[in-house]
Homo-oligomer: A and B are copies of this chain.
C-alpha cells in the first residue's frame, strides 16, 4: 500500500456514469495497491444515481465525494450536447475543491487506465501549475490549427488528463477571467473548455508525453510510425497509462471495432457483469 491517497477529479453528467465506472474499474484493477479519493463536480446528477455511484465506488474501495455546483455560475458559457456544462468544472476546480487538497488529477470518463498512474502523480511540475499532453504532430492537424488559432507559442494541450497543483492554481485561476474569456470569445470557441485552458493556462503547463499519458487509439498506426516502430502493441501495453478514446466513435458502442475494442469491452464486462466474480 502506498503512503498517500491519490486525489482524482471527475466532472460529468448522468450520461457518463457508466463510462466513468469503466474508467474507475480499470484504474483500481491496474493500480491495485493505491488508495483513491474521487471528487465529482456535477450539477444535477439525480440522488438515486449518486447513491449507485457511492455503492459502486465503495465496492471498488474508492472514496467518493460529490460536490454539486450551481448551474447559474456558468450561465454565460456556450454549451451544447457534445460539450456539456460539466466540462468547464475542471477549470474552476481549484476554487471548488476543499482548501485541504493540495493536488488533484483530472481524468475524462472516456479513458481506460492500463498502468500505474503514480509516476504522473509524483511528477516534478517545477514552476508550472498544470501538466497535460498535446496530441501534436502530423497525425493531429487540429492540434496545430488550434495552436495557431489561439495564437499560442506552446503546443495545443488536450484537456482530458490534467494534473493540477491546487496550491498554485488557487492563486492563478480567477473565476472572472474565465467567465470574461468565455463571454468575449463564445463565437469562436471550438472545444470550449480546452480552448480556455490553453489560452489562459497553456503557459503554466508542463508538457507530458501523450504516448504515455494521453494516447489516442485512433492514431495507433501514426504513433507507431512516428516512433520508428517502437510504439507497437507490446510497448503500449507495457508503457501507456491512459488510453483516451477521443472523438465521436466511443468504445462502449456496439459498432466500435478497432484493435482496442476487445480491451475496452473486456473492462466494460468486468464492470457490469451480474456475477461480479
B32 touches A277 (CB 8 A): yes
Q: Residue A254 at the B interface, CB < 8 A?
A: yes
User: Which residues in B have their C-beta under 8 angstroms from that of A31?
Assistant: 277
A33 touches B268 (CB 8 A): no
Over the window 123-158 of chain A, the binary record of Cβ atoms lying under 8 Å from chain B Cβ atoms (1 yes, 0 no) is: 000000000000000000000000000000000000
The residue among A234, A238, A258 with the most chain B CB atoms within 10 A of its own CB is A234
Chain B residues within 8 Å of A29, by CB? 29, 270
0 or 1 for each of A23-37: is its CB under 8 Å from B? (1 = yes): 000000111111000
Is the CB of A68 closer than 8 A to any CB of chain B? no
Per-residue interface assignment for chain A, residues 177 to 192, with 1 indicating a CB less than 8 Å from any chain B CB and 0 otherwise: 0000000000000000
B269 close to A254 (CB less than 8 A)? no
- Contact: A270 with B116, CB < 8 Å? no
Q: Which A223-277 residues have a C-beta within 8 angstroms of B?
A: 232-234, 236-238, 254, 256-263, 265-266, 268-270, 273, 275, 277
Chain A contributes a number of interface residues (CB within 8 A of B) equal to: 33
Q: Please indicate the chain B residues that have their CB under 8 angstroms from the CB of A277 in the complex.
A: 30-34, 116, 118
17 additional contacts, CB 8 Å, given A29-B270, A233-B257?
A30-B270, A30-B277, A31-B277, A34-B277, A114-B266, A115-B269, A233-B261, A233-B262, A237-B265, A237-B266, A237-B268, A237-B269, A238-B269, A238-B273, A257-B259, A259-B261, A259-B262
Can you offer 26 A-B residue contacts whose CB atoms are under 8 A? A29-B29, A29-B270, A30-B270, A31-B277, A32-B277, A34-B277, A116-B275, A116-B277, A118-B277, A232-B254, A233-B262, A233-B265, A234-B268, A236-B262, A237-B262, A237-B265, A237-B266, A237-B268, A237-B269, A238-B273, A257-B259, A258-B259, A259-B261, A259-B262, A262-B262, A262-B263
The 8 closest A-B pairs by CB, nearest first: A237-B265, A262-B263, A33-B277, A237-B269, A263-B263, A116-B277, A233-B261, A237-B266
Interface residues of A (CB under 8 A from B): 29-34, 114-116, 118, 232-234, 236-238, 254, 256-263, 265-266, 268-270, 273, 275, 277
